[in-house]
């Protein structure tokens, strides 16, 4: 059975960001996704300023900005009539705009950064079960493989609890930022 410190399931924006952030901190992380390749469908079209601020931590914001279009003003219209005008230009941030970029591009940039850091997405690999004990958790996949993840908030070790808690809090900060 293979072993990893942290298993991240799902290589969407959340999983890619989490895996890159953990890998950048030297945490051995395995990222798996059930799909044979990244989705190229129409999903999110915009990244908010706060997300760009958070993604500075893993050196991705500038790359996204280079790949997107800065929309300082945005309006919701009914034909020619403006219903809701939005002006981002006065926001107290380095990114006073909404960045128009397709989710496929966002995921590509995050995936490239993860690879630069030495990580990758293992695909196709679908999680089917997780069993947890005092030493961590064992994840099982539909190809018959299992992988032990050694960091678990339920561990009895105090230092490992603190370490796990700090990772969980990093996740919370990353995941709290809207895409």
Q: Which residues of the shown chain bind ligand FAD in the complex (CB under 6 A)?
A: 9-15, 32-35, 42-46, 103, 126-127, 178-179
Tell the residue number behind the tokens 């034909």, with chain if given: 79
Q: In angstroms, what is the minimal distance from the CB of 92 to ligand FAD?
A: 21
C-alpha–C-alpha distance, residues 11 and 31, integer Å: 7
Which one, 163 or 171, has the nearer CB to ligand FAD? 171
For the CB of residue 42, give the shortest distance to ligand FAD in the complex, in Å.
6
What's the CA angle centered on 110, arms 104 and 114, to 5 degrees? Answer: 140
- Min. distance of Cβ 167 from ligand FAD in angstroms? 17
> Between residues 105 and 161, which has the closer beta carbon with respect to ligand FAD?
105
Alpha-carbon distance values, 168 to 45, 78, 164, 165 (Å) = 28, 43, 6, 5
Least CB distance to ligand FAD at residue 178 (A): 5
Nearer to ligand FAD, 44 or 163 (CB): 44
Q: How many CB atoms lie within 10 A of CB 74?
A: 14
Q: Which is nearer to ligand FAD, 16 or 167 (CB)?
A: 16
Question: Which residue's CB atom is positioned nearest to ligand FAD?
Answer: 12
Name the pairing type of β-strands 136-141 and 127-133: antiparallel
Rounded to 5 degrees, what angle do the CA atoms 107, 139, 15 make? 15
* In the complex, least distance from residue 68 CB atom to ligand FAD, rounded to whole angstroms: 13
Nearer of residues 24 and 121 to ligand FAD, judged by Cβ:
121
DSSP count for the chain of H helices, then E strands:
5, 12
């Amino acid at each position: 059975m293979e072993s990893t410190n942290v298993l991240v399931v799902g290589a969407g924006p959340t999983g890619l960001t989490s895996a890159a952030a953990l890998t950048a901190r030297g945490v051995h992380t395995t990222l798996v996704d059930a799909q044979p390749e990244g989705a190229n469908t129409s999903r999110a079209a915009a990244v908010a300023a706060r997300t760009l601020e958070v993604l500075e931590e893993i050196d991705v914001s500038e790359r996204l900005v280079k790949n997107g279009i800065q929309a300082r003003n945005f309006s919701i219209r009914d034909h020619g009539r403006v219903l809701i005008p939005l002006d981002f230009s006065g926001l107290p941030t380095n990114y006073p705009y909404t960045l128009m970029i397709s989710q496929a591009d966002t995921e590509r940039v995050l995936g490239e950064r993860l690879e630069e850091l030495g990580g990758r997405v293992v695909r196709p690999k679908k999680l089917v079960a997780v069993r947890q004990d005092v030493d961590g958790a064992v994840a099982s996949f539909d190809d018959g493989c299992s992988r032990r993840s050694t960091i678990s908030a339920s561990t009895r070790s105090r230092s490992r609890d603190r370490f796990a808690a700090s990772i969980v809090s990093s996740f919370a900060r990353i995941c709290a930022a809207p895409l």
